[in-house]
Amino acid sequence: MGSTTADARALVTALRSAYAATPIKLKIIDLYVVYALSTVLVQVVYMSLVGSFPFNAFLSGILSCIGSAVLAVCLRMQVNKENKEFKDLPPERAFADFVLCNLVLHLVIMNFLG
Amino acid sequence: MASTASGASRLPLAWLRLLLLGWLFAVVSQTTCASNGLQPLSDGDREAVAGYFTADADGFYGSLQETYHALRALEILERSNVESQKICDSLVGLVQAPHDSVEDAFHVVRIAEVLQCPHGAEVAKVIVPSLQAAVEKAKSLLELHYSVATIAIIKGWSSKSASFNDALSGVFSSLKELAGPDGTWHYTKSSSESSAKAAGLYTFFSFPTTAIAYHVIGHIKTAAIKLFDNLESHDQGVFYFQESKDDASSGGGGALEATWAVLRGSAALAAVLPAKLKVEVEKVFGIAKFLLTPGLALSATEAFYQLDSLSVLEEYRPAVPVSVQTSSILSLSSNDNLEVAVTTVLGKPVSQVKVTLVSAHCIGADAPPVWSSQNLNYVENSGKYVFHFLSATTDLGKYKLRLEVCSVKSEGHSSYTSGGPVKSDITVISAIGISDVQIAVLDSNTGISDFSAVLEYGKDENITLSANHLQKLRLSLKLTSPSGSPFNPQQVFLKLVHESHVEHLYLVKSSAKGFQLTLDFLGLVEKLQYLSGTYNVVLIVGDMTMENSFVWTLASLDLDLPAAPEGKPLPPKAPLEITARIGPKPEIAHIFRQPEKRPPTLLSNIFLSLTLLPLIGFFIGLGYLGANIKLFPTTGLPGAAAVGFHGAVASILVLYFLFWLKLDLFTTLKVLGFLGLCTLPPGHFILSYLADSSAKQKTA
């Protein structure tokens, strides 16, 4: 029992120090993802309190947040210099894609919001 | 025939009302009376119209013009409760008061003429000086109308009238400038609208002056005839003159007043012309139909125009329309004569016409006509034309008659017109004989009658029968027409009425031996709903040509039927109140879907603020991480491009917000396309600039 807690604590410390080494840009994107997901949480709690009417509004709310989070993760993958897959992709291009996809996502969300 | 020179034809409200009434009138006239489509002014209409005129304390009926209208209308309706003495006495005082308009003088003079006031000479003496000035000064049609008409009326009262003739001849030449090409006239030289009413006013006043050159008469006559080409027509042969926009300057009044003006004018013209003024007979008839539309006059002024026009039509030189009405039912038992009433539009009987019965056919039979080419005789004391239509051999039924009304040509009398040949339907009816009425109760198996009685029509005999379900009821009777042949009416029914008001109806069929019906109670038990008890046996005989159609309670029947089998619910008895069966059903209250329950506003607002919390957390985190915008280009083109790019993206987000609030998808997409195009150049530029600069940094 004691070893698991000690192991857990060691794991967390290791993760934290490794994370500190990530570039700031990536940390910003991570923070953005955390923000989007916490907004989803708030909305789900609200829905559980008052029921899901109107359902389309609820769906569009959470899909907006989840979609933004997904797009941010994609951006992080593409911008990350350690990622060999996207070596040739300039980060500005990735950012332009991110902006475009967000705009399309939000158009659809706004239409579905009603 | 509907084109006029008066530009746009706007439909006044009165015309729409007229359309509805005209249609109603046509429908009613075809179903009820046998006439030529023209009904003279009815007593009901006269009463209604007389009710519009109520006198004030001093005997007048409102303004001078209204008083004249009332007096003339009451004169036509032959009402004599008018305070002529009072009015005549006040007239002189009115004329002496100073006034500018010749219109008042015009109305005063007309009132004096209608009431035949004895003060004519005094009134004339006062007016004459101002009239001469008025004639010279008059510029528009209306002013001329008033002044010249006043002169025409007072001519007989004053000796100074001869001096007017010179002034008048000058007037006519200036009037010609007001004429239009198609028989209509304008009110003033500057007006562009022409109007039939103006034309009527023009011709009206032109007349009783003697010094008119022949060419002027000829010009006026051709113009007047052309005027009748502009008659507006409407269905069922109603003709009238349409009002024009300019008529408002002369007091408006609509189609009724325009038609009145033209009638008055053409009547005055016809009285002066040596030869007859030719107007087509259908048009005169159509105008009469228009004027006799029920409910035409809805105010005192309209009543005056209607009545005055009708009185003009009674003596109209071109043609006098008459109304022809035939009796619609002739009874053989009372040996009625066919009576045809020929009257003027105001109801006065006309005796100077020849009425001929051209043909009379029995409807439904292809036989030759019963009568043809017979003349009808005028009977003095009833004012009608009479013909002895019925004979011993006349069949019962409906007949189609065709009559012709011709004017008897005589000097000085107008020709009368009935609007063409007159078609009417009459019905010949008679009392039908009922005989050999026998009612019997027979045994079903043997056919022997257990009870039988012979009834006589007209006697109330109170017979009681009794029967059970093993018996039959038989009824037989004979019906004969007055000529002795068997008569087949449209309705011969036997009705059984239970004491609880449940009724059953049976058809009595005819055969060579007369009418017979046998009711077998064994087969009818279920139809009679197993109801035993006392029934009234009622015989119903009816026909259109039968004078004595009847409902006759023959006997009362005690019927004994077996009880209803178990388990079968008795059908509901007929409700006593007929309205319960035919009346309105109970109102249905609809239940709509309840709207969904929404959460309380406070809770929603709390969660709204909770949603914004992560955003705040995001910005705090950004600060904590040390994010900055130091690389944001500030100068030159890159700066502008960066600002442009961010601005365009922000504007797209604003567009989305507006889309959520109120725009629709199509508008949004259009604007989005435009904004997207705005975003592309700065975005591309700034991003490629940043890429280049970071590549340079890497290599450097």
Tokens of A49: 């309190």
A contact test, residue of B603, B625, B675 with most A CBs within 10 A = B625
pLDDT confidence of residue B178: 60
- Are residues B625 and A107, on separate chains, in Cβ contact within 8 Å? no
- B73-97 confidence digits (pLDDT tens): 888 888 777 677 777 777 777 766 6
User: Which residue of A lies nearest to B622 if distances are taken between CA atoms?
Assistant: A28
Which residues of chain B are within 8 Å of residue A106 when distances are taken between CB atoms?
A: 653, 656
> Best of B601, B610, B629 to disrupt the A interface by mutation (most A CBs within 10 Å)?
B610
Rounded Cα distance between B407 and B351, Å, is 10
Pairing type for strands B338-343 and B449-455 reads unpaired
Amino acid at B643: V
Q: d(Cα B207, Cα B514) in Å, to the nearest integer?
A: 76
B→A interface, C-beta within 8 Å: 596-599, 603-604, 607, 610-611, 613-615, 617-618, 621-622, 625-627, 649, 652-653, 656, 659-660, 665, 668, 672, 683-684, 687-688, 690-691, 694
Test B687 with A92 for CB contact under 8 angstroms. Answer: yes
CA-based nearest distance B643→chain A, Å: 16
Q: Residue A41 — pLDDT band, cuts 50, 70, 90?
A: very high
Q: Which amino acid is at B300?
A: A
CB B45 within 8 A of CB B310: no
Of A27, A42, A93, which has the smallest distance from its Cβ to B607's Cβ? A42
Angstroms from A1 CA to nearest CA on chain B: 35
B183: left (phi over 0), alpha (psi -120 to 50) or beta: left
Q: Under an 8 A CB cutoff, do B618 and A96 touch?
A: no
Q: Residue B687 and residue A93: Cβ atoms within 8 Å?
A: yes
* Pairwise CA distance, residues B403 & B142, whole Å: 46
The SS3 call for residue B283 is helix
Chain B nearest CA to A17, separation (Å):
15
Q: Which residues of chain B have pLDDT under 50?
A: 1-33, 189-194, 207-213
Q: What is the mean pLDDT of chain A?
A: 90
As a whole number of angstroms, the distance between CA A11 and CA A5 comes to 10
Partners of residue A95 in chain B, C-beta under 8 Å? 687
Q: pLDDT above 70 covers what percent of chain B? A: 73
Q: What are phi and psi of B467, to 5 degrees?
A: -150, 160
For residue A66, the model assigns a pLDDT of 96
B613 contacts in chain A (CB < 8 Å): 42
CB B648 within 8 A of CB B678: yes
Element containing residue B493 per DSSP (H, E)? strand B491-498
Closest chain B C-alpha to A54 CA, distance in angstroms: 9
Residue B421: left if φ>0, alpha if ψ -120 to 50, beta else—which one?
Answer: beta
Q: List CB contacts of B198: < 8 A, sequence separation 6 or more.
A: B141, B178, B184, B185, B186, B187, B244, B246, B247, B250, B261
Q: Determine how many CB atoms are found less than 10 A away from the CB of residue B633.
A: 16
- Asked whether the beta carbons of residue A111 and residue B665 sit closer than 8 angstroms, the reply is yes
Structure tokens at B486: 């068997």
- CA-nearest of B109, B19, B28 to B71 is B109
Integer Cα distance of B177 and B198 in angstroms: 13
Distance from CA of B589 to the nearest CA of A (A): 28
Q: Which of B255, B228, B202 is nearest to B316 (CA)?
A: B228
Query: Chain A: nearest CA to B639, how far in angstroms?
Result: 17
3-class state of residue B695 by DSSP: helix
Residues in chain B closer than 8 A to A38 (CB atoms): 614, 617
B499-540: per-residue pLDDT in tens? 888 888 999 998 888 899 988 888 888 888 888 889 999 999
Searching chain A, which residue's CA lies closest to the CA of residue B663? A111
Chain B residues touching A75 at Cβ < 8 A? none
Nearest to B611 among A42, A53, A113 (CB): A42
Task: Find the closest chain A residue to B601 by CA distance.
Answer: A50
Question: B209 vs A59, which has greater pLDDT?
Answer: A59
pLDDT at A1: 63
User: Which residue among A45, A46, A106 sits closest to B656, beta carbon to beta carbon?
Assistant: A106
Tell me which residue of B125, B94, B129 sits closest to B108, measured CA to CA: B94
pLDDT of residue B200: 56
C-alpha–C-alpha distance, residues B115 and B153, integer Å: 13
Q: Closest approach of chain A CAs to the CA of B232, in angstroms?
A: 59
Residue of A nearest to B609 (CA): A42
Task: Give chain B positions within 8 Å (CB) of A111.
Answer: 659, 665
Name beta bridge partners: B320.
B416
| Interface contact flag, B603 A50, Cβ < 8 Å | yes
Inter-chain CB proximity A111 and B614 less than 8 Å: no
Closest approach of chain A CAs to the CA of B630, in angstroms? Answer: 13
Q: Cβ B625–A92 below 8 Å, yes or no?
A: no
- Sign of the alpha-carbon dihedral angle for B73, B74, B76, B77: positive
Under 8 Å CB pairs connecting chains A and B tally to 75
Using the beta-carbon criterion (under 8 Å), do B617 and A92 form an inter-chain contact? no
